[in-house]
Structure 1
Amino acid sequence: MRKETENRRNGESGNRHRLIARHSLFAIGFLLLFGGCQQAQEPVLVGRPEGPYRLELALSPPQPHARQQTTFTYRLTETKTQRPVSDLQILHERAIHTFIVSQDFRSFAHTHHEDFFPLTPQDTAAAQFHFPYTFPQAGTYLIAGEFTHKDRSWVKQFTVNVEGSHTGPPGEVIADPIRTKTFGQYQVSLTTSPDPPVVGHDTELVLHLTRDGTPVSDLGLHLGTEVHMASWRLDGAHFGHQHTYTPAMARMMAMMSDHTSNPTHMAKMMVQLMRGPAQQAYWGPTLPVHHVFPAVGVYQLFFECAPGGKPLVLDFMVRVEDYSEGADTTVHSIVPPQAATEDTQ
């Protein structure tokens, strides 16, 4: 099911320190990051970076227009053989996860072929997947397609220029550090450990949700997990996609830190865990996610969860700092490894 949100810049009062990244600099960052991507829209776009897989994206019409439906069609092949990748692994109930964000981060969507059409044997054999999407406004969009094959997840990225009349001048991307916000009837706070996050080190991000002042206790599963997090740095670089940090994941991480298992084997185990039947570990009001931010900067985060079984999209920003000698990078997790060794499912 496709979800979109308008970024809310409302939060509770407090000290604000805002960094303004001008729209023109952001657009330049997009072009530098995705050099070779299309200014005049091409019939078939090729996902970047290059690698053992080639993900092509065809748009119909080739030049999308705001508020008019566009059909996305993926074709996934092996780069060397050009054969279709016909044995994709289904991760969190979908073959390819697609994340679409506008360059001002005011529009966000997470969508899939299976949200609109059954996945047929013919689709799988041809490694072709399609779905409709309507861009809400003109401008430049960043698209990330994520798939899993042979127990490893891959991300291919595209930029798409959407035509249409602008309702106003180009917007500014504002780095907003507010950690408590209101989304309809929900009040949501975000904490991180360590705070601030440190580049290259594990960070635990914890959401705390209340509904009309009462802690949420009826979170449901959404696409096989309690929460999905999509993240980009404000220049459009360093896309990331994470999920709930469960006791089972904490147990695996503890094994890795104790050097009791090969990291490659552990990565495969993590994929197998996410491919398995969905098991709910959290009903609220807190939701933990782990992520390693790869570079210094301000990141836009989108969280998708389902309180009361209804999809809800939350947006926050965090500033990631460089490591300095003596910095405390300890993660004070709400899911300690010793608790994770018990069977909590």
Structure 2
Amino acid sequence: MNNRFIRIVFVVLFVFGLTGRNHVFAETVGGKGHQHENMQYMPSMSEEETVASIKTEPEHITAGTPATIVSSIKDRQERPITDLTVHHDRLVHVVIASQDFSVFAHIHPEDFGSVTSEMKKTAQYPVKYTFPKAGRYIVGIDYAVKERPVSKHFSVHVAGGPEMGSPKKDMEREKRFGDLDVRFSPVQEHITAGKEVKLSYLFRKNGKAVTDLEPYLSAPMHLAIISGDLTRFMHTHGEIPGEAPMGHAEHMHMTVPKQFGPQIDVHVVFPAKGLYQIFGQVGYQGKVILTSFMVEVE
């Protein structure tokens, strides 16, 4: 049986911050893939980096049909990396978003059953997902090797229908998500590429400050930041105001109060100008609240 390969070249970055608390985007080279014959997606590697790929089952994905995404993580000699570090309660985090930003998911192999010894031995970690619309998606994966977090991403095309629309520019700064009213405030009036910016989230309910937010996967907030052209991706985490800034190792094993609020801050360095969609997830009353805001970087 003939296999088909889609190979996409990426610059794959270990996620080190410029100031010890910032996070760096994983970024594609040129933003375009080269189509070959097998539905496998593989970035390139450099001398210090791991090699990750994903494959989909079935090979050709159709909207509305359940699919399995298998992440494979190897070293430079193509040997499975069998000792990933658990970070934020999971071995591998998988983030999925559609190009029109109407679809978002943050899932893990553990969501579908126990991580088996065979998964660890082969360093292949499956997740299940049904893509609801046809079009282009970004699939980001995050894992850690020897306490060093790594972020990589891939572009996946889904056939069938209905087709997704075009991204819409939405600069609204106050929205309701579930039972919560959320005000999103970049501290700087203008966000400049290459410079740190603080983003603040203020949560209210019925006009009152919410002080009983809950941790989600051992963080005050998980955030996926994606450029409008899907060529840049970052998975980062919020901080509670007044706490000491954390490095990446501390972020992976951070201790979060059982309840907190109403404000969560995020420190980010955007690598290039353009539009970015910021998806945030925070715990509240046993549920996960998903937020979505857009910024423009100059």
Normalising by structure 2, we get a TM-score of 0.83
* Aligned 8 A contact 1:229 1:302 in 2: yes
CA distance in 2: counterparts of 1:99 and 1:49, whole angstroms: 20
CA distance in 1: counterparts of 2:237 and 2:259, whole angstroms: 12
Q: Report the alpha carbon displacement of residue 251 of structure 1 after superposing the two structures with TM.
A: 4.3
Q: Counterpart amino acid of 1:50?
A: M
Does 2:296 correspond to 1:319?
Answer: yes
1:111 is matched with which residue: 107, 111, 126? 107
* Aligned 8 A contact 1:232 1:299 in 2: yes
1:300 is matched with which residue: 274, 277, 292? 277
Does 2:31 correspond to 1:50?
Answer: no
* Higher normalized strand content (fraction of residues): 2
Does 2:66 correspond to 1:69?
Answer: yes
Counting only pairs closer than 5 Å after superposition, residues 21-36 of structure 1 correspond to structure 2 as 32-36=30-34
CA distance in 2: counterparts of 1:177 and 1:242, whole angstroms: 21
Counterpart residue number, 2:143: 147
* Aligned 8 A contact 2:219 2:254 in 1: no
1:243-290 CA-partner distances (Å, limit 9, x unpaired): 0224797345xxxxxxxxxxxxxxxxx233133363228611111111
Counting only pairs closer than 5 Å after superposition, residues 134-213 of structure 1 correspond to structure 2 as 134-166=130-162, 171-213=165-207
Q: Secondary structure at the match of 1:115?
A: helix
CA distance in 1: counterparts of 2:143 and 2:56, whole angstroms: 19
1:214 is matched with which residue: 199, 205, 208? 208
Q: Report the alpha carbon displacement of residue 203 of structure 1 after superposing the two structures with TM.
A: 1.1
1:21-69 CA-partner distances (Å, limit 9, x unpaired): xxxxxxxxx9950322x4x7723221x3533322121211111111111
Residues 171, 275 of structure 1: alpha-carbon distance in 2 compared, 3 angstrom cutoff: closer
CA distance in 1: counterparts of 2:229 and 2:254, whole angstroms: 36
- Count of residue pairs the alignment pairs up: 269
* Aligned 8 A contact 1:242 1:290 in 2: no
Q: Secondary structure at the match of 1:188?
A: strand
Residues 247, 192 of structure 1: alpha-carbon distance in 2 compared, 3 angstrom cutoff: closer
* Aligned 8 A contact 2:241 2:263 in 1: no
Does 2:279 correspond to 1:283?
Answer: no
Q: Counterpart amino acid of 2:106?
A: H
1:84 is matched with which residue: 74, 80, 84? 80
* Aligned 8 A contact 2:192 2:270 in 1: yes
CA distance in 2: counterparts of 1:143 and 1:235, whole angstroms: 13
Counterpart residue number, 2:248: 271
After alignment, is 122-131 or 278-287 more displaced? 278-287
5+ residue gaps in structure 1?
1-29, 253-269, 322-345
CA distance in 1: counterparts of 2:127 and 2:243, whole angstroms: 32
CA distance in 2: counterparts of 1:149 and 1:202, whole angstroms: 26
Q: Report the alpha carbon displacement of residue 102 of structure 1 after superposing the two structures with TM.
A: 0.6
Q: Counterpart amino acid of 1:250?
A: A
RMSD: 2.2
Residues 296, 31 of structure 1: alpha-carbon distance in 2 compared, 3 angstrom cutoff: closer
CA distance in 1: counterparts of 2:101 and 2:127, whole angstroms: 22
CA distance in 2: counterparts of 1:248 and 1:131, whole angstroms: 37
Q: Secondary structure at the match of 1:114?
A: helix
Residues 192, 109 of structure 1: alpha-carbon distance in 2 compared, 3 angstrom cutoff: same
2:122 is matched with which residue: 112, 121, 126? 126
Normalising by structure 1, we get a TM-score of 0.72
Residues 317, 128 of structure 1: alpha-carbon distance in 2 compared, 3 angstrom cutoff: same
How much identity, in percent, do the aligned residues show?
Answer: 31
1:224 is matched with which residue: 214, 218, 228? 218
Q: Counterpart amino acid of 1:140?
A: R
1:98 is matched with which residue: 94, 117, 122? 94
